Amino acid sequence: MSWKDLYSEVKAKKMAALGKTDVVKAVEKHGKILAIRGKYEKPEKVIQYSYASVKEIISPGQVPKVDLAKYDVVLIGCPGSEIPKSGMSKFRDYVVNDGGWVLTTDWCLRTVIDDVFPGFIHWNGEKTDDAVVKCELVDPHHPFLDGIYGEIMTGKYSTKGEKSPTFSWWLEDKSFPITIIRPDLVKILIRSSEIGNRWGKDPVLVYFDVGKTGGKVIHMISHTHLQKGGSKGHFVSAMILTNILDEKVGIKHGVKKSSGGPQYTDYGGTASSYSSGIEWASPAQNTPNQFQQYDVPESQSQGNTPELFGTAQIEEVQDAKSIPSSQKCALGDGNFVDSKEKIFKCGRCGTLYHENCLSIQLQDGTCKICGSIFLF
């Protein structure tokens, strides 16, 4: 499948099955992404097919003359070393002062992040081979990974008999493995045990917040155009890139996905057919463990129009030790191991929240996963 066809499919699936019609339309109307070419990163292969309003691609030498504040997301392509020093300083102002989001790839770990955003992540000194490696989702509920879990498990891009949400990722020759300097501040979204075993560190996709205006720095090993990653790897890459812009534009313009978009399933789930003709993974039913993957209520999976489904009591979890160490907070704020604060759950779908995260979610008034109106 061509990149053009893949990005069209991603857009259609988000609108048909993920409850993101309003978000996609907002990105089409307002979303602005700037991509800076690198010697090894070729953003024009993919950016031109995204559904943003503005999609600009420039050379490294043009950076000093560009007003970065006009853009929601700036992609800095590997290696990044060709960007003039006068341009490098603009990235920090963009993130810290303007609340911009920067996405960097591969060697930018050393040439951009070390100089502009030091102290969070670092190159571990190893260089990978030209290889295709298996990767695992660490936090499938995070907005940057929205819709990936269900599709690679039971949808079009699933592999028969597969029991875990894995996919292939292409590493260029001499890609830079990622060391986490501040695990308390850096969120790991995708790992590869194969990279870890062979080259010492396993993060594939990470991000961290910078400043007090909502700025973020997102970094991935290798590149956005994963020629050797196979169809599943291509799909994951396209979803990540569009999800990042979805989230930024959604926050900026107060638009969020509707509550009915199924995106997660258990390992025995099946795909549901929607009126658009596109297949998407349906939510799991009757999960045996109350703390397993968050599931949308059964009634929410019926029909094509997402809607809110009543109210849900917020319940305090009395036995925190019964929560599996792999279970994450709904807001992606880590797990609950050794948590010093209270833990709460949605009385309808069982979604878990740290106390502070619940306070944030209460500003929306609804459960992040099932959309029920909270009663507290």
What are 141-169's pLDDT values in tens digits? 899 999 998 888 877 888 766 677 788 88
Residue 372: the pLDDT is 73
How buried is residue 275: exposed, middle or buried, by Cβ count under 10 Å (0-12/13-18/19+)?
A: exposed
SS3 196: helix
What is the pLDDT at residue 300?
A: 35
The rounded distance, in Å, linking the Cα atoms of 107 and 122 is 10
pLDDT in tens, 188-203: 999 999 999 999 999 9
- pLDDT (tens place) for every residue of the chain, 376 residues total: 788 898 999 999 899 888 899 999 999 999 999 999 888 887 888 889 899 999 999 999 999 999 999 999 999 988 889 999 989 989 999 999 999 999 999 999 999 999 899 999 999 999 999 899 999 999 988 999 999 988 888 778 887 666 777 888 888 889 999 999 999 999 999 999 999 999 999 999 999 999 999 999 999 998 887 766 678 888 899 999 999 999 999 999 999 887 544 433 322 233 322 222 333 333 333 333 333 333 333 333 333 333 333 678 899 998 888 887 767 788 766 788 888 889 999 887 788 888 888 888 887 777 777 677 787 6
227 φ/ψ sector (left φ>0, alpha ψ -120 to 50, else beta): alpha
What's 364's DSSP letter? T
Cα 284 from chain centroid (whole Å): 21
Q: What is the Cα Rg of the chain in Å? A: 20
Distant-in-sequence, close-in-space partners of 212: CB < 8 Å, separation ≥ 6:
none
* pTM, entire model: 0.69
Show the domains of the chain with their CATH numbers: 3-253 (3.40.50.880), 307-376 (3.30.40)
Residue 220 has a pLDDT of: 94
Nearest to 226 by CA among 81, 55, 83, 106: 106
Distance separating alpha carbons of residues 205 and 224, to the nearest angstrom: 11
Strands 131-137 and 186-191: antiparallel
| pLDDT computed for residue 53 by the predictor | 95
Dihedral angle at the C-alpha atoms of 342, 347, 350, 353, nearest 10 degrees?
-30
How much is the pLDDT for 206?
97
Q: Are 275 and 304 in contact (CB under 8 A)?
A: yes
Q: Which of 118, 142, 79 is nearest to 210 (CA)?
A: 118
Helix and strand tally (H, E) in the chain?
9, 17
> How many other β-carbons are positioned within 10 Å of the β-carbon of residue 4?
11
